[in-house]
Amino acid sequence: RTIGDRIGEAKASGNLGNTLKILGQFDEAVVCCQRHLDISQEQGDKVGEARALYNIGNVYHAKGKHLSWNMAQDPGYLPQEVKETLQKASEYYERNLSLVKELGDRAAQGRAYGNLGNTQYLLGNFSEAIAFHKERLAIAKEFGDKAAERRAYSNLGNAHIFLGRFDISAEYYKKTLQVSRQLKDQAVEAQACYSLGNTYTLLQDYERAIEYHLKHLVIAQELGDR
C-alpha cells in the first residue's frame, strides 16, 4: 500500500483470505478475498479476478461444510443457513468457470467443475453434481491427472448412490479402485473397497459385499488403522 502497488495489495489480500479460511475465520476471509477481487477488477487483471472468485467460492464452500459437519446430515437435508452458504459458493464457482473459459485455462476449469460438483452434491442436487463431475473427469483425463480422475470416479459413485443407481455406482467405484492401485495409494484403495462392499450390500449381492469388506479389512490391518 505504501508504494501504491495495487496488484501486490490484491495478492496479499488474497493470501490473507486463504489463511483466514484455514483458521476457520470465514467472514474475515470473505472480506480479504473480496478486496482481492475488487482490486483485480479495478486493474483489469483477469487472472487475478478469476483467482479471487475461486477463492471466495472456496471460503463459502469451507464455511458450508464446517456448518454442516456440526449438524451431520445426509446431503440435501440442510438448514437454511448452510444451504445459502453453499449456494453462494456455487455462484462464485460459476463466475470463476465462465472467466477461466474466456481465458482458455483448462486446468482451472477442471478445478471449478470439481468444486461445483462437490457443492451441488452437498446441496442434494445429485444430477447436477454428476454433470459437473463428468466434466471434471474429462479434463483430468486430458491432463493425465490420475489423482483428480480418481476423485471424480469416487464422487460420481457417491452421487449415483443417492439417485438409487447402485449398479452404476459400483462401476465407478471399481474404476476408483483401479486408479488408486495405479497410484499405489492403499488408504484410498481401502476406501474404494469399503464403498464397493456397501454398494453390493445395497444390490443384495452379499457374497461380493463380503469379498470387498474383507479386502478393506486386510488393508486396514496392514496400515495399522484401528
pTM (predicted TM-score): 0.93
The domains found in the chain, sorted by start residue, are 1-142 (1.25.40.10), 145-225 (1.25.40.10)
Q: What is the pLDDT of residue 72?
A: 62
Q: State residue 44's pLDDT score.
A: 96
Quick one: three-class SS letters along the chain? CCCCCHHHHHHHHHHHHHHHHHCCCHHHHHHHHHHHHHHHHHCCCHHHHHHHHHHHHHHHHHHHHHHHHCCCCCCCCCCHHHHHHHHHHHHHHHHHHHHHHHHCCHHHHHHHHHHHHHHHHHCCCHHHHHHHHHHHHHHHHHHCCHHHHHHHHHHHHHHHHHCCCHHHHHHHHHHHHHHHHHCCCHHHHHHHHHHHHHHHHHCCCHHHHHHHHHHHHHHHHHCCCC
Lookup result for grid cell 479434463: 139
What are the 10-residue block averages of pLDDT along the chain, 226 residues in total?
A: 96 97 97 98 97 98 89 76 96 98 97 97 96 98 97 98 97 98 96 98 98 98 95
Write down the pLDDT at residue 148. Answer: 97
